[in-house]
Structures are given as structure tokens and as C-alpha cells.
Amino acid sequence: MILNLSSNFSKLLRRNLLAILVIAGGYAFLWYSAHTNGDHHYTLCIFKNITGYACPGCGMGRASIELYKGNIAESVHFHWWAIPLNFMVIVSLFWLIRDIFKQSDSYWQFIRRPMKSWILVIIFLLVIVNWIRALYLGL
């Protein structure tokens, strides 16, 4: 298969490759963290470093590391959203690769779609509930 490197496809290719590199870099960082820090947990969270309190996303890195290790219960303990988020990121990675070979923009078209307001409200409430839980548990 010969790729037609038109101007539009060239922009799409750069955007997809950048997204793939960011995803791969994030997973490489988590893999490195999982294999170098043992049980010591540190945070890159600016909010937690300044206030001392967890942000709504705090625990996601630890939850993802536990998920990679196969510790599902520990993963859920650190952050409820780790399993669905990691699943969505892996699907996104393969979708971006597929779009490169198909010379398609389907991933970015899907991402730009407007989301129904009731779905946003449910996501917001779940994020708040998880944040309160994390603060209560001292995660």
C-alpha cells in the first residue's frame, strides 16, 4: 500500500503520530515508575503538592500501575476510573494507527463530536463522588 502524502494527510499523519508518541510516552513513564520506585509513591500533581489534598485525578497513576501488575482490586482502590480510562487510551492508540493506514480522520471526528449534556452531568457527578472518596481515604 502506497501512502498518498497530500497536504491534509501530512497534517493528519503528524497529529496522529504526535498523539501516539504522547500515549506511548505516558505508558513508558508509568512502566518506568512501576519498576523503579517499589512501594514509594510520589506525585507530580501540582494541586496536591501545593494544597496537600488530592485532586480529582490523584491516584490515577498508581491505579494504572496496579492494573498493569494485574492487581485489579488495588487499581480500583486508588482510582475507579483507571480501568475504563486505560481501556479507552489503548483503543485510541489502535484507532490512531488504523487511521494512519486508512488515511482517515475518523478518530478526530469522533473526539470532536458534541457530548450529550446528561452524559456530562453523570461524568461530573462520578468524578466528584470519587474525589470525595479519595479525600476521605487520604489517597
56-75 mean pLDDT: 87
Banded pLDDT at 59 (limits 50, 70, 90):
confident
Query: Are residues 107 and 95 in contact, defined by beta-carbon separation less than 8 angstroms?
Result: yes
Q: What are the CA-CA distances from residue 73 to residues 60, 76, 77, 79, 85 (Å)?
A: 14, 5, 6, 10, 16
Q: What angle do CA 33, 36, 37 make, to 5 degrees?
A: 75
pLDDT score, position 1: 47
% of the chain residues with pLDDT over 70:
89
Q: What is the pLDDT of residue 91?
A: 94
pTM of the model: 0.75
Cα–Cα distance, 110 to 36 (Å, whole number) = 37
Greater model confidence, 2 or 136: 136
